Amino acid sequence: MGTVNVDRDILRFFSGHRTAVLTTVARWGMDIGTGDLAIGLAGLMFVGLVVATRWWRAGITIGVSVLVAQASARVLKQIIARPRPPEDLAVVQVGAFSMPSTVAAMTAALAVAVYSVVPWRVGRRRYAIGLLATGVALIGCAMVYLGAHWPTDVLAGWTVGVVVGIIVVRLSRTVGRRNPTQAPAATRAASAS
């Protein structure tokens, strides 16, 4: 019961401090994570990047992480069946159940997988984690700011995404160890030097 009160207090704070500019920016962030066009374009860019770089295992690992996180969040929503925030606290009405946030789960799984499997240049890993974490946090905060989710929905989504991302990355590495000839060219080149 205490969590619901904290959730409600945070949404009340946001509803009393919303501005036109922040609302527009938050809607843009939400649309990136939920809009069919944005997801479709991101998917095409992702496939193009994987094909151009030939990072097949990395691409499959990232894609599977996002899809499993999305499916897991949707199943958990049906089990938990938590209602969305009420209209008086929300700018948008999304419908369906609320916990865990599917967008938060997908973005967290994406961030974990990208950070773990992309062959970052020396010294770039810490910048990558900062950029990935900032993106995940901004999209999650946008969902709460707009009243599409309770804060604990986003926290639960992040948890689901991180767990799924870690599991999929570990499974991918296990498969990679068993089939070293299938490792991406960038990984083979790095390990040979």
pLDDT tens figures, 16-73 = 888 888 888 888 777 665 655 555 655 556 656 655 656 667 778 888 888 899 999 9
Residue 190 located in a structural domain: no
Which amino acid is present at 117? V
Which tokens is 175 given? 């498969």
Residue 188 located in a structural domain: no
pTM value is 0.76
Residue 189 located in a structural domain: no
Residue 11 located in a structural domain: yes
The whole-angstrom separation of Cα 162 and Cα 100 is: 13
Mean pLDDT, the chain, integer: 79
Residue 152 located in a structural domain: yes
184 φψ region: left (φ > 0), alpha (ψ -120 to 50), beta (else): beta
- What is the domain extent for residue 17? 2-183
Residue 167 — very low, low, confident or very high, per pLDDT cuts 50/70/90? very high
Residue 22 CA neighbour count, 13 Å, CB half: 14
Cis bond upstream, residue 85 (ω within 30): no
Q: Is the dihedral of CA 36, 42, 45, 50 positive or negative?
A: negative
Q: Exposure pattern of 30-43 as b/e (b: 16+ CB <10 Å)?
A: bebbbeeeeeeeee
- The domain tally of the chain equals 1
The whole-angstrom separation of Cα 134 and Cα 145 is: 16
Residue 37 located in a structural domain: yes
Query: Is pLDDT of 84 > 80?
Result: yes
Query: Is pLDDT of 189 > 50?
Result: no
Tell me which of 3 and 103 has the higher pLDDT.
103
Query: Is pLDDT of 74 > 80?
Result: yes
Residue 111 located in a structural domain: yes
The whole-angstrom separation of Cα 87 and Cα 50 is: 42
